[in-house]
Structure 1
């Protein structure tokens, strides 16, 4: 058996077979283990984590096992088993159990991609439908934008869009057009409270980038927020006071609403 002292002395830090003292079996590399849905996002997170640990060669087969019987082969086996433990710990119990007799990280990775990585027309349809139906609703600007961003990224990851593989001179123009379409979609799903800032953004020349539009909307949203965590209770109390103070004055409900708006401007923010 090769201990960590021997490993450190014989393997360079840049070698994929190097295992540091912080590398231990059984740790999950993702926040939520994969259970059968959302394979694209889980796969992306695993690739990022394994690349950061310099172990990506074990899953894509680029770091082949050295000749049998050599000390390098034993080190490779040790590291391969370590990565297997990370990979299976990042899966649900049922999925991990179905892979427990696989001998290499690469074979596990291939099986997972064959089972869950095949993109069907149904999957693309569901994703595009969810994207088309997404609007702000009860979400704040940040939550609404993040939901769209997740859907855009997932669609980009699994689709065969020409922009993903294009290396021609037209690529920059295609990417710019895709960015513009995202801005339109983001603005179309906003609540009517943002009609003014939306109109202003649509008149900007040159057409604004997505991040710029998001930043402008965040700034427009802030005046409607209260720094006081008890603002809801205050507004309810203010509403009761207004209604109690003008029961017989002939004020309509619209007039009461205007008074509440004035209170909002005085420091009690709208909901």
Structure 2
């Protein structure tokens, strides 16, 4: 019965030896030295995100033990086949690591014999988050606004910055209740920042959300704003982003209607000479009333 059970296990056969798929020595036929395990190579500025991606990829390949030091090189007194297989997998993992870092960094680790040595070297050099790195991340978060992009693109951009910051810092050790208060505070700060960066065309839904007590988590806030944007698109055929751009092109005072407003330049009603655009001509399309910046 045991012999039949062994036959049912998926396995890889190398050098005449069969390994279970859960064994660290197992290699799939697609596991080649030229593979790129992550899409973004390591640079001096992205270690936190790169290491997370690499850990996930190595776990999927069941090779994380070769870089975290838990699967050490067998002693020479063990079977030669075992030692040979370890060397084979170690060389493969080391090649994956080298392939996943930027070319200017490769020469600094290429002469290590062990994948573990490459991993520890990169960790020691780039894992320490410095104040300058945090400053740039926080500055990017502060300056991030919706502008001329959709709500979805704006939130994705902002969330990437939050994730990068959260990966660079660690929460203090504390009891469960205190930790929940800290996490709630973080969620509130993120929700408020997200609302602050939205265009003014979302002022109504922003006010509605800010009146909620307690304030919903940032993902829920994003969902509410996105629903508002979709409903607006359905009823008007225009996105709030398009309307905001059109309003900026017309000028802030052009929406004021009144019989007492008359332009002395073009002699037309509903605007003044300060807001008149009749004299403008687009160099791109040749039409009057706007410039090439708003064509």
Number of the residue aligned with 2:85 = 75
Task: Assess if the C-alpha contact under 8 Å between 2:33 and 2:95 holds in 1.
Answer: yes
State how many pairs are aligned. 239
TM-score, scaled relative to structure 2:
0.72
Matches within 5 A, 1:1-271: 5-6=13-14, 9-68=17-76, 70=79, 71-162=81-172, 165-222=173-230, 223-224=232-233, 226=237, 250-252=268-270
| Deviation at residue 139 of structure 1 after TM alignment | 2.3
Moved more, 165-174 or 111-120: 165-174
Higher relative contact order (CA 8 A, sep 6+): 1
Deviations, residues 96-127 of structure 1 (Å, cap 9, x unaligned) = 12211111111001111122222111111222
Output the CA distance in 2 between the equivalents of 1:208 and 1:51. Answer: 34
Task: Assess if the C-alpha contact under 8 Å between 2:137 and 2:161 holds in 1.
Answer: yes
Q: Higher helix proportion, which one?
A: 1
| Deviation at residue 8 of structure 1 after TM alignment | 8.0
Task: Assess if the C-alpha contact under 8 Å between 2:37 and 2:100 holds in 1.
Answer: yes
Taking only aligned residues, the RMSD between alpha carbons, in angstroms, comes to 3.1
Runs of 4+ in 1 over 6 A off after TM superposition: none
Query: Which is higher, the Rg of structure 1 or of structure 2?
Result: 2
Task: Assess if the C-alpha contact under 8 Å between 1:145 and 1:186 holds in 2.
Answer: yes
Any stretches of 5+ residues in structure 1 without a counterpart?
A: 240-247, 257-271
Output the CA distance in 1 between the equivalents of 2:60 and 2:271. Answer: 61
Secondary structure of the equivalent of 2:139? helix
Moved more, 64-73 or 99-108: 64-73
| Deviation at residue 196 of structure 1 after TM alignment | 0.4
Task: Assess if the C-alpha contact under 8 Å between 2:13 and 2:19 holds in 1.
Answer: no
CA 1:212–1:8: 2 relative to 1, 3 Å? farther
| Deviation at residue 75 of structure 1 after TM alignment | 0.9
